[in-house]
Structure 1
Amino acid sequence: MATINRQAVVVIHGMGEQRPMETLRSFVSGIRSIMTEDDAEKKSTVRSKPDSVGDIYETVRLSLDTAVNPDGTIKRPKTDFYEFYWAHNMRGNQFSHMVAWMHRLLFTWVAKVPPRLRSLWCTVWIMLVLSVLMTIYFTNSARIEDWKKALAPMLAAIAFPSLLALVASFARSLFLNSAGDAARYFTPVPDNIGERSCIRQQGIAFLKKLHELKTVEKVDRIIIVAHSLGTVVAYDLLRLLWTEYNTIYGTTTVPRQPNLLKIDRYYDENSPPPEGRDQAFYNRLIELEKGNLDAFRDLQKACWQEQLTVGNPWLITDFITLGAAINAADYFMVTREPMQELIAQREMPVCPPVKDRKDYAFSYKSGQSFPVGNKNYKVRLLHHGALFAVTRWTNIYYSSDFVGGPMQRKFGGGIKDIMIPRKAPWFFPGGHTAYWEQKDKKNALREILEAMQLDN
């Protein structure tokens, strides 16, 4: 079993006018308010240290001392908190950047809108139709005297520019600076490619540096926590980085990889029946292998530890999403390719991973043999879409936050969805910015802390 002497938590913020360290400091403060309920954590302190990973000087690393039990044993290893800051790449949002995305949202047939967003979709369309009908009615039925007709243009000339400026300012601050980020990131058109590429290149470089640290700051485990649109950014970083790490291995004295073979046999709802097998066999396979979620997550952890022993350098054990916009990627993403096709082609990793149709597995033997005892063995490698064979995915969302939602709907039954009851009007994403806010008594801090498993 891999020994964790130091671990890192990388927080990835959401959309809007985010300031460097604002999200990270708030997040760490919230987590500490829960952690200090444990006696072993009360004496540990948070220190601000230079960020040796990020490429901007606006961020720092918040380092949390090792937590020690009263009997002197280690409860939790030293934990570093980093922020991957990307908001500076999304500047100059314009309404023209949002046309394709808004068209996608408005003109998708209601049956294809994710269930949690249908009430909002219907509300928007009802308001649009009522506005048109009211405009037509008042235009045709109003009776205005001649002197009022003459006065109306003058009043309009005075009031209209002021009203327009007020509306524009409101729209820019509330709409463009927030929804504009989502529109641009979800829409791969030429105007947005530069920003999307910069965010991804910076994020991958960030995670690579964290993996490759050789100093005393070297970490043995990485946890990714992402919020809102940041979940889409994080997902892209993980899937792209995985394709650079999944085939790396070294010499080994481990004769077999039993956990990888076990997880290979786990039920995957996204894979078609293996070639040469009929549907009846596949149905029986579902009943035999579906198992329970906790058992699958235990296998993911064991599989990650096992891959370390054969020289694979992947350190990201957990992906935690909060109020995740990615849950509705099939609705928000502007693409001509159906999401299910991208999943089948392994471009979009799911959990459990999609299996190869020929051998019904998502691992394969490497080309090189290693002598172990009197036999030669080949290391088994995970394919480029099998990220979530070694990384657990926990998704936390409020019942009132329609931006977030159940991830199993599109990304697979191996994800742990945690829904927290909360009330809010159907047209308002209640609690979307309150997942780790201490002042909000209904926050999700306990669930977040449990998902990170900092003491495991």
Structure 2
Amino acid sequence: MTAGLNTEFPVPSVVGFLLDPEFIETWLGEGAVLDWSVGGRIVIPPTVGEPGDSVAPASTAVVQHVRRTQSSFALRAVWGGRAGNSELILRVSTRPQGRSRLRITETGIPAGNEAKRAQFWSEVLGELDWQITAASDERRRFRQALVVVHGIGQQRPTTTLRNFVEAVFPDMKGTRRFVKPDYASPLVGATSVTVPGRWAMNRPTTDVYELYWAHLIRDTTTSEVYAWAFRLVWAPLGNIPRKLQPHIVIVRMLMVTVSVALLAAVTFLFVGNSRGTGVPAILAGSAAFLALVPGLVWKVAGLFGSSAQNLLIANILGDASRYLDSQPANVQARQSVRETGLRLLDELHDSGRYGRIIMYGHSLGSVIAYDILAHSWTRRNRSHAAAQSMKTPALRAVEDLMNPRSSPAEPPPISTVRERQNAAWNEFTGNGFRWLVSDLVTAGSPLAHARWLLSPDKHTPFKQLVADRSMPTCPPQTTPVRSPKPGRMRAAFTYTHRYCIPGEPRLRPRSVLVPDHGALFALVRWSNLYFPHTGFLHGDPVGGPLQPTFGRWVDDIKLPQPGGGAFGFAHTKYVDTSRSRAHVALLRGALELPVTADIVFWLNASSSRTTRNPDGEDS
């Protein structure tokens, strides 16, 4: 007896659904057991019939053989546990266009029971087909949002958005894109771009938004930029990136040398050789000149017209100094930018239109995207609705990476980390928690120099911000807790969260394991792209690898120069396709536009879409 079912999902997704402990009873019936390891048991519910009648000759089968690959799955079991009795063979094989076929074969059925067994498997596959169809329908309705955060400079609304879409979706040339009013952005007149889905590539319909913030940082004065630059030049040398240290030392030496030389000249001209100036006068004059050097440089720039000053200060350095410098005068501008981003993320989360959100930031926009995600996570990570399950094996699997079984431990491959992060994100959203951001992609990010740029003062080093969980890292910071094994400790970034569902008695709260307020990157994958920096301005001196600062789980992607080895300054070329597309292809891959999920995810997505309760906030 053989029964079959064609599905629209690939083999790994179907197998993941069939063997998921939560869903085995969904398609095999209440009380069913399917332990697919060799030697494991398969139990068909007794409601189907008597063992000698419907499952001849016994109701329990023992798995004899399992073969699982990316393109196929096969399981063979024998009823009664001995070869020669009736066998059950389950196969899942690949079909064209990413589809698969499930086939169940049972042999050795006593005469007279074939029709009953055929009817039983027909009903089982009918239920399975209904579940897979529901998941397939949800996949077709599934949409994702991609938020683009622009960098410094005189950016104009939608310019960055259009350039980004043209570069990242080249396969859509000749296909109609939909430019729509951006109903989520607080900026009047903003637009979004809808890119139709291509499920042959596992890519759903994608709405691309731009977080436009340039109008919120204006009227920067030269004195503010002077003060910021002066603090950077005279920051502790250990906080300055190694590649920039020689240049900073040269600048310091020039400032001191020129000030001393000018002081000596002034002394010679106005004081004369007969009267000594003394060491205090020289030191005072040197200090005064250190404050005058930036003004002299600014006056030299003014010789080339006021536009040079505007370009250097108001349009470029001004944005960076106002956002990165935590002086009280800059707090309001930073607050306005962050509030705008948080409102946009909240609108996308609460709209009910999206099952996934991706964040992309270039240059200073990468710092803004990082800040917005960190603040949004602390606001939303315990907000939930009713859910089918509160099990967290995927989250535990991520935490297990911080607790290696062998010593000395080898760091896990980045591919393993990202798979587990994605599985934990699928699980978290499936459990009803309202967190949809799955990926952060940064390009040319100043976060590479965070120790230099983001320390608020000389008394609070960047490592203290990390230890306090004010700056989320990837992997998250952990706390030692007691392990279930006696006498051992475990590194943990999770805790047990107790909550109540509206309508349920408050005396019986539920509980679930959740990441703490600093564990954003337990669920969110972080990809960082950079052009390597050599010399003074060759490549991208602004960006760089983030692993040394934010952790080994950041996927640092070194890009080829966008036009050969002698291209020069490349900070503005991350979506420039005029010379090469190789680096943009790596950007497209980092965005993870295809959805990596199994059927269980789509079923949970359908459930959360219909049961989501906007008032079901954490109590």
Short-chain TM bin? 0.7 to 0.9
Shift in alpha-carbon separation, 1:43–1:99, aligned structure 2, 3 A: closer
Where does the alignment leave 5 or more consecutive residues of structure 2 unmatched? Answer: 1-12, 14-134, 270-297, 483-490, 533-538, 596-619
The one-letter code matched in structure 2 to 1:382 is P
CA distances 1:57-111 after superposition (whole Å, capped 9, x unpaired):
2420111112254xxxx64211111000000011101122224421221112434
| Number of the residue aligned with 2:203 | 76
Q: Secondary structure at the match of 1:188?
A: coil
Matched, 1:434 2:573: yes
| Number of the residue aligned with 1:151 | none
Shift in alpha-carbon separation, 1:22–1:134, aligned structure 2, 3 A: farther
Aligned-pair identity in percent equals: 32
Shift in alpha-carbon separation, 1:423–1:78, aligned structure 2, 3 A: closer
The one-letter code matched in structure 1 to 2:545 is P
Q: Secondary structure at the match of 2:512?
A: strand
Matched, 1:45 2:184: no
The equivalent position to 1:115 in structure 2, one of 222, 239, 242, is: 242
Shift in alpha-carbon separation, 1:112–1:67, aligned structure 2, 3 A: same
The equivalent position to 1:325 in structure 2, one of 436, 440, 446, is: 446
The one-letter code matched in structure 2 to 1:54 is S
Matched, 1:387 2:520: yes
Q: When the two structures are aligned, how many residues end up with a matched partner? A: 406
Matched, 1:242 2:373: no
Pairing 1:220-235 to 2, within 5 Å after superposition: 220-235=355-370
Specify which structure has the bigger relative contact order, considering alpha-carbon pairs within 8 angstroms and separated by 6 or more residues: 1
Task: Please give the alpha-carbon distance, in whole angstroms, between the structure 2 residues aligned to 1:267 and 1:260.
Answer: 12
Task: Please give the alpha-carbon distance, in whole angstroms, between the structure 2 residues aligned to 1:411 and 1:179.
Answer: 25
CA distances 1:13-68 after superposition (whole Å, capped 9, x unpaired):
011111111111111111133xx2xxxx5664322111011111242011111225
Pairing 1:386-425 to 2, within 5 Å after superposition: 386-399=519-532, 400-422=539-561
Task: Please give the alpha-carbon distance, in whole angstroms, between the structure 1 residues aligned to 2:262 and 2:558.
Answer: 42
Q: Secondary structure at the match of 1:365?
A: strand
Cα RMSD over matched residues? 3.1
Task: Please give the alpha-carbon distance, in whole angstroms, between the structure 1 residues aligned to 2:410 and 2:300.
Answer: 65
| Number of the residue aligned with 1:213 | 351
CA distances 1:120-144 after superposition (whole Å, capped 9, x unpaired):
42453455456557757987999xx
The one-letter code matched in structure 2 to 1:446 is A
Matched, 1:261 2:399: no
| Number of the residue aligned with 1:173 | 311
TM-score, with structure 2 as normaliser: 0.60
Pairing 1:21-420 to 2, within 5 Å after superposition: 21-33=158-170, 36=171, 41=172, 44-67=175-198, 69=200, 75-125=202-252, 127-128=254-255, 131-132=258-259, 164=302, 166=304, 168-214=306-352, 218-254=353-389, 256-267=391-402, 287-288=408-409, 290-336=411-457, 337-359=460-482, 360-368=491-499, 378-399=511-532, 400-420=539-559
The equivalent position to 1:20 in structure 2, one of 151, 157, 161, is: 157
The one-letter code matched in structure 2 to 1:192 is N
Q: Secondary structure at the match of 1:115?
A: coil
Q: Is the 8 A contact 1:225 1:320 kept in 2?
A: yes
Task: Please give the alpha-carbon distance, in whole angstroms, between the structure 2 residues aligned to 1:171 and 1:443.
Answer: 35
- Larger CA Rg, structure 1 vs 2: 2
Task: Please give the alpha-carbon distance, in whole angstroms, between the structure 1 residues aligned to 2:419 and 2:301.
Answer: 58
Shift in alpha-carbon separation, 1:429–1:137, aligned structure 2, 3 A: farther
Shift in alpha-carbon separation, 1:90–1:349, aligned structure 2, 3 A: same
Q: Is the 8 A contact 2:194 2:205 kept in 1?
A: yes
Q: Is the 8 A contact 2:225 2:313 kept in 1?
A: no
Task: Please give the alpha-carbon distance, in whole angstroms, between the structure 2 residues aligned to 1:441 and 1:42.
Answer: 17
How many angstroms does 1:338 deviate by? Answer: 1.3
Q: Is the 8 A contact 1:403 1:429 kept in 2?
A: no
Task: Please give the alpha-carbon distance, in whole angstroms, between the structure 2 residues aligned to 1:405 and 1:47.
Answer: 35
Task: Please give the alpha-carbon distance, in whole angstroms, between the structure 2 residues aligned to 1:388 and 1:447.
Answer: 21
After superposing on structure 2, the runs of 4+ consecutive aligned residues of structure 1 that deviate more than 6 Å are: 136-142, 160-163
